[in-house]
Amino acid sequence: MRLSGKVVLLTGATGGIGQATAELFAREGASLVVTDVGSEAVEKLAARLETDVLADRLDVSSPENWRETVERTRRRFGRLDVLVNVAGIVDWPGIEETAPDAWDRVIAVNQTGTWLGMKTAMPLLRASGNGSVVNTSSVLGLVGSGAAAAYQASKGAVRLLTKTAAVEYATRGVRVNSVHPGVIATPMIQDLLDEQGDQQPDIVRTPMRRAGSPAEVAHAMLFLASDESSFVTGTELVVDGGLTAY
């Protein structure tokens, strides 16, 4: 019950990492606001969770959607203690092949969506007096890959956005940290894993020689969401099996 008494708003809740995080946080005693762009999927997820839960459709790139979701959270629970920004999309092409509309969409969801979440939820988080924000970046927010130009740009931005928010709110009752998953067996990369298995290049380069599970990322997020990380802010928690250790 490491999150007992806390209210958590989670974006991207129906994806691989999002679902694992919602399920773990529910078991740890949190009340949850689970959100995603698909209302049917998020309602199904909420029905499975054994906790006090509010399901809401949220396009994280929409300021209006964010205002509505945060207001519904306030009306339902009267508070917000933790914001976990998981929602994200990927586009694989490099610099020359990336289309402008694809670039704009990835930046809108991954980068702008993270900023909008913090901007909109921060008054409630500050009011809690002990708030935590967990932003999802990536190992591709730390090192280059030679591909996925828009995705890498957005995840690098999330990393530094997290750090500046951590400094801004360090004495205002809110900690802000980022999690950086490596190769995780989620639907986002499942096609590559199915096609190449353990020979997928990033797995070959990973010292542990395997993909991580969404649950392994969720446990990292649990630490940052809980009071166990009370002196941790502005940090990068890398969950990558050693991929960036070289």
Q: How confident is the model at residue 142 (pLDDT cuts 50, 70, 90)?
A: very high
Higher-confidence position of 229 and 203: 229
Known active-site residue 151: yes
Catalytic residue among 25, 66, 77, 151: 151
Those residues with Cβ within 8 angstroms of residue 124's Cβ, 6 or more apart along the chain or in another chain:
70, 73, 74, 79, 80, 131
The pTM for the full model equals 0.96
Instruction: Decide: 188 and 16 in contact? Cβ < 8 Å.
Output: yes
What pLDDT is recorded for position 98?
A: 98
Tell me what the mean pLDDT of segment 217-235 comes to: 98
pLDDT at 202 over 90: no
Look at residue 138 and give its three-state secondary structure. coil
For domain 7-186+215-239, the CATH class is: alpha beta
Tell me what the mean pLDDT of segment 10-30 comes to: 97
Q: How confident is the model at residue 130 (pLDDT cuts 50, 70, 90)?
A: very high
Strands lying side by side in the sheet with 236-239:
53-57, 31-36, 7-10, 82-85, 131-136, 174-181, 236-239
Locate the domains of the chain by residue range. Answer: 7-186+215-239
